[in-house]
Amino acid sequence: EIVLTQSPGTLSLSPGERATFSCRASQFVSSNYLAWYQQKPGQAPRLLIYGASSRATGIPDRFSGSGSGTAFTLTISRLEPEDFAVYYCQQYGSSPRTFGQGTKVEIK
Amino acid sequence: QEQLVESGGGLVKPGGSLRLACAASGFKFIDYNINWIRQAPGKGLEWLSYISPSGGAIFYADSVKGRFTISRDNSKNTVYLQMNSLRAEDTAVYYCARELRPYFEILTGFYVWGQGARVTVSS
């Protein structure tokens, strides 16, 4: 099983600031099958990025993903008020399709 | 509108069973893999199971293997999760989800999600 470790656990930032999230895998993620999700309280997750760097349909270009192998990054170039939420990475290249434990972005 | 709707959640005693259903609409159901994911109260996301369009490929997380069974009825555009031998730690919101692209294109993350079905296991 591939274990995904996200850091930091919490980010305290202000609107307009840049947010950077890390996701490290315990093993190589095949074909860069790495996705990022945003989840707000009481809602289902929303797919932001797949294939490590491809934005899903309708996702603003302030969201970008990068990385390969075992180290991946999600960046939000300028935080909007609606971006304060929890972010999860997930690998879907092998079963089980594991999730990271999440990073919470809170308003500073 | 592409949509997944879960049903069948509720309160069940430890050791009991429950069957969740995930009804799809607005897209060509037979072209998509379907997954089940759960989220315990205040916790993160846990992937549980996957079924291919034909049902020929099925995978489970170790935490539910041997207790949960995924299946699909393509004539009803519905995927099921039969949950047996339920434990308190199975208490969660259960989501079904499908990928962004059909199975014959590239694998992607989960783009369409249901609203979730709440399952509570308690005596």
Cα–Cα distance for residue pair B110/B98, rounded to 1 Å: 5
Task: Name chain A contacts of B108, Cβ cutoff 8 Å.
Answer: 35, 47, 50-51, 54, 56, 92
Give A62→chain B minimum CA distance, Å: 19
Nearest to A51 among B108, B113, B114 (CB): B108
Q: What are B119's strand-pairing partners?
A: B10, B92
Chain A CB within 8 Å of residue B103 CB: no
Task: Name chain B contacts of A103, Cβ cutoff 8 Å.
Answer: none
How many residues does the structure list for chain A?
Answer: 108
Give A104→chain B minimum CA distance, Å: 11
Q: Is the pLDDT of residue A99 over 90?
A: yes
Cα–Cα distance for residue pair B84/A100, rounded to 1 Å: 27
Q: How far apart are the first and last CA of chain B?
A: 39
Give the mean pLDDT of A38-67: 97
Residues B16 and B121: beta-carbon distance below 8 Å: yes
Chain B CB within 8 Å of residue A32 CB: no
Angle at B32 between CA B31 and CA B34, to 5 degrees: 155
Rounded (10°) CA dihedral B121, B67, A5, A66:
-110
Residue-wise pLDDT for B30-82, tens only, equals 999 999 999 999 999 999 999 999 999 999 999 999 999 999 999 999 999 99
Chain B CB within 8 Å of residue A69 CB: no
Q: Is the pLDDT of residue B107 over 90?
A: no
- pLDDT, residue A67, reads 97
Give A64→chain B minimum CA distance, Å: 15
* Amino acid in the structure at residue B117: A
Quick check: bond before A8 cis, omega within 30? yes
Cβ within 8 Å, pair B109-A44: no
Q: Please list, residue by residue across A64-102, b when 16 or more beta carbons sit within 10 angstroms of its beta carbon and e when fewer do.
A: bbebeebebbbebeebeeebbbbbbbbbbbebbbbbbbb
Cβ within 8 Å, pair B46-A100: no
Cα–Cα distance for residue pair B69/A39, rounded to 1 Å: 27
Chain A CB within 8 Å of residue B115 CB: yes
Give the mean pLDDT of A75-90: 97
Residue-wise pLDDT for A5-16, tens only, equals 999 999 999 999
Average pLDDT across chain B, whole number: 96
How many residues does the structure list for chain B?
Answer: 123
Cα–Cα distance for residue pair B73/B81, rounded to 1 Å: 12
Sorting pLDDT into bands at 50, 70 and 90, what band is A34?
very high
Sorting pLDDT into bands at 50, 70 and 90, what band is B104?
confident
What percentage of chain B exceeds 70 in pLDDT?
Answer: 100
**DSSP-derived pairing of the beta strands A34-39 and A86-91:** antiparallel
Helix, strand, or coil (residue A74): strand
Chain B CB within 8 Å of residue A42 CB: no
